[in-house]
Amino acid sequence: MDKPTRQFHVRIQEALNDPQIRANFRRAMDGLMTKRANMFPDPVELERLRDLGAAVRRNALAQLPELLERLEAKCAENGITVHWAESVDEANRIVLDICRRHSAKSVIKGKSMVSEEMELNHYLGEFGIEALEADLGEYIVQLAGQLPSHIVMPAIHMNTRQIAELFAEKLEGVGYIEDAEELTKVAREILRHKFFDADVGVSGVNFAVAETGSLVLIENEGNGRLTTTAPPVHVAVTGIEKVVENLEDVTPLLSLLPRSATGQNVTTYVNMISGPRRDGERDGPQEVHLLLLDNGRTRIHADPELRQTLQCIRCSACMNHCPVYARIGGHAYGTVYPGPIGEILMPQILGCEEVGALPGASSLCGACGEVCPVRIPIPKMLVRLRKEAVDNTGASPVKGGGAQRSFGEAATWKGWEKVHASPALYRLATRTATAMGGLPALGPLKTWASVREVPKPAAKTLHQRLEERGNSR
Ligand code: SF4
C-alpha cells in the first residue's frame, strides 16, 4: 500500500471515529435528500429533464474546441479579456499579474471550486495580497483554516455551536452567539465593507455561453453579484468544460442544478455577466477577465468514456446521496472535490499515484448515478478508474495509471484465475479449504476480514456430497 493510500485510510478511520462528524453529515444529507425528492415529484418530468441536461452537456463536449473559440471571440466582442491556463501554476500567475497591474492589495472572492483547485488564496497570500472569501460557508472554512467539505455547502461539517465557537475565537470583539441568524449577521457586517474596499473581485462561473459570450453565475447570498460588480476589476475563473453552446441550453441546467443541489426551485440570484461597465453606466467593473483552466481536462476529454466526467455541473447530488460520503464527510477524501464526483475527477487530475485509491471508496450501490442530473454513469466510471489505477500495461490514458498495482494483489488474482480455470486445481483447493475449516485471514485479507465475517466452507464439498449419494459427475 503506498503512502497516499495509507493516509486516505487513516483519514477515513479518523472520520468514522468522530461521532460529531457523523451526526453533522447524517443530519445534513438526510435533509438534502428529502428536499431534492420534494423538488421532483413527477418522475416522468425528472427523467425528461435529465435527458435534456445530459444532451446539452454532451453536445457541448462533443464540440468543445470550436465552442471555446467561439466563446473567446464573443467575450472579446463584449470587452471581456480571455486568458488560457494549462496548469494551476499558470492560472495563479495570470491572476497575480492582473492584481499587480492594478496594484491590488486585497481580493474579494465569490464561491469558486476552480479557485480552490488552484489554491488561489494561499498563492496570492504569498505575494502579500489578501484574498477573502465572501460566501458564508467559504468564509467559515477560511477562518477555520480548512478545505471545503462539500462543493455547494463548504461548511456543512460544522454545526451552529462549532461555528459560534470559531467566531468567538477568531473574530475580534465577537462573543459566543449560538444562533445561526445572528452569526450570519456578524459575517455580513464584516464582509459588506470588504466588497467596497477590495481592488479585485474573483468569482467562479457556472456556465459560459459561446453564442453570446455571457458568464452565468448562480448563488443565494448576493456575494457573487457584489464580487462581480463592486470592485473595479472582475476575474472569473472556470474550467474549460463549463462552456455551453447557446443561451437556451442554460434553461434546463438552471432548472436541474438548484433542485438537485439544495432542493430549491431557483437560486436567489442568477447573474449574467456580459462585459465590463459600458459608457454612461454607473455600476460594474471597468475590466472583466475570464480565465479558462485546463489542468488535465483536455486529457480527460480525449477518452470518450472518461470525457463524461466533464459533463458535471457541480450540483453535489451524488455526494448528498452517497452512503460513504454521508459517513466519512468531505475532508476524509483530502481533495478539493470529495464524494463520487471527486472519486472520478481527482484521480484524472492529480493522478493515480496520489489519489488512485479514491474510486475504491464506494459500495457501487448506484445511488450517485441515479441522481446525477446530467446522467454521468458514475458507478461504471468508478469501476473503470479502479481498473486504470492498477493497469500497468503503460497504455492507461489516466495520469499515473497502474500506480496502485501491488505485486501481492496481482499474484493473488492470478492464482485465483488459475485455480478457477483448472478442475483439478479447483477440487484440490476446495478440499484443502474444507479440511482446514477455511482460509487463514493473513496479509491483506486480515484488513478485509477485520470488518467482515469470513465465509466458512461447508463440512463437505458439493462434489463429495454428490459422490456419497452415488451421483456421478
Ligand atoms: S457528478 Fe452529477 S450529481 Fe455529482 S456533482 Fe456532478 S452533476 Fe451533480
Query: Ligand 1 centroid to 309 CA: how many Å?
Result: 9
Of 68-77, 365-374, 464-473, which range is least confident?
464-473
Task: Calculate the CA 285 to chain-centre distance.
Answer: 30
Atom of ligand 1 nearest to the CA of 314: 5
C-alpha cell of residue 69: 473559440
Question: Each residue of 358-382: b (16+ CB within 10 Å) or e?
Answer: bbbbbeeeebbbebbbbbbbbbebb
pLDDT value of residue 462: 82
For each of the domains in the chain, give its residue range(s) and CATH number, in order of start.
Answer: 1-39+306-403 (1.10.1060), 65-295 (3.40.50.10420), 407-468 (no CATH)
Of 300-304, 362-366, 465-469, which range is least confident?
465-469
- Amino acid 84 reads W
Bigger pLDDT: 131 or 442?
Answer: 131
Residues 6+ apart with CB under 8 A from 405: 389, 390, 391, 392
Whether the Cβ atoms of residue 36 and residue 259 lie closer than 8 Å to each other? yes
Of 228-232, 401-405, 411-415, which range is least confident?
411-415
Question: Distance between CA 345 and CA 339 in Å, rounded?
Answer: 10
Is 2 a residue whose pLDDT tops 50? Answer: no
Whether the Cβ atoms of residue 171 and residue 202 lie closer than 8 Å to each other? no
Of 95-109, 146-160, 173-187, 435-449, which range is least confident?
435-449
Query: Ligand 1 centroid to 313 CA: how many Å?
Result: 6
Taking alpha carbons only, the member of 80, 82, 199, 185 closest to residue 131 is 199
pLDDT value of residue 240: 98
* Average pLDDT of the chain, as a whole number: 94
The residue nearest atom 8 of ligand 1, judged by CA position, is 315
Q: What digits encode the pLDDT tens for the residues 282-329?
A: 889 999 999 999 999 999 999 999 999 999 999 999 999 999 999 999
**Beta strand pairing call for 214-219 and 207-209:** antiparallel
In a 3-state reduction of DSSP, which class is residue 385? Answer: helix
The one-character DSSP state at 289 is E
Question: Distance between CA 209 and CA 78 in Å, rounded?
Answer: 12
**Which pLDDT band, with edges at 50, 70 and 90, does 434 fall under?**
confident
Q: What digits encode the pLDDT tens for the residues 6-57?
A: 689 899 999 999 999 999 999 999 999 999 999 999 999 999 999 999 999 9
- Amino acid 34 reads T
Classify the phi-psi angles of 444: left when phi > 0, otherwise alpha if psi is within -120 to 50, otherwise beta: alpha
pLDDT value of residue 444: 67
Using a 6 Å cutoff on CB, does residue 369 contact ligand 1? no
Query: Ligand 1 centroid to 320 CA: how many Å?
Result: 10
Using a 6 Å cutoff on CB, does residue 341 contact ligand 1? yes
Average pLDDT over residues 158-170: 96
Whether the Cβ atoms of residue 166 and residue 199 lie closer than 8 Å to each other? no
Whether the Cβ atoms of residue 311 and residue 57 lie closer than 8 Å to each other? yes
Task: Calculate the CA 437 to chain-centre distance.
Answer: 45
Provide the terminal-to-terminal Cα distance of the chain, rounded to the nearest Å.
43
Query: Ligand 1 centroid to 312 CA: how many Å?
Result: 5
Is 107 a residue whose pLDDT tops 70? Answer: yes
Kindly write down the DSSP assignment for every residue of 101-164, as one continuous string: HTT--EEEE---HHHHHHTHHHHHHHTT-EEEE-SHHHHHHHHHT---SSSSSTTTT--HHHHH
Is 230 a residue whose pLDDT tops 90? Answer: yes
Using a 6 Å cutoff on CB, does residue 374 contact ligand 1? yes
Using a 6 Å cutoff on CB, does residue 258 contact ligand 1? no
Q: What digits encode the pLDDT tens for the residues 117-156?
A: 999 999 999 999 999 999 999 999 999 999 999 999 999 9
Using a 6 Å cutoff on CB, does residue 107 contact ligand 1? no
Question: Distance between CA 383 and CA 379 in Å, rounded?
Answer: 6
**Which pLDDT band, with edges at 50, 70 and 90, does 1 fall under?**
very low
pLDDT value of residue 4: 59
Average pLDDT over residues 350-358: 96
Whether the Cβ atoms of residue 295 and residue 115 lie closer than 8 Å to each other? no
pLDDT value of residue 143: 96
pLDDT value of residue 470: 87
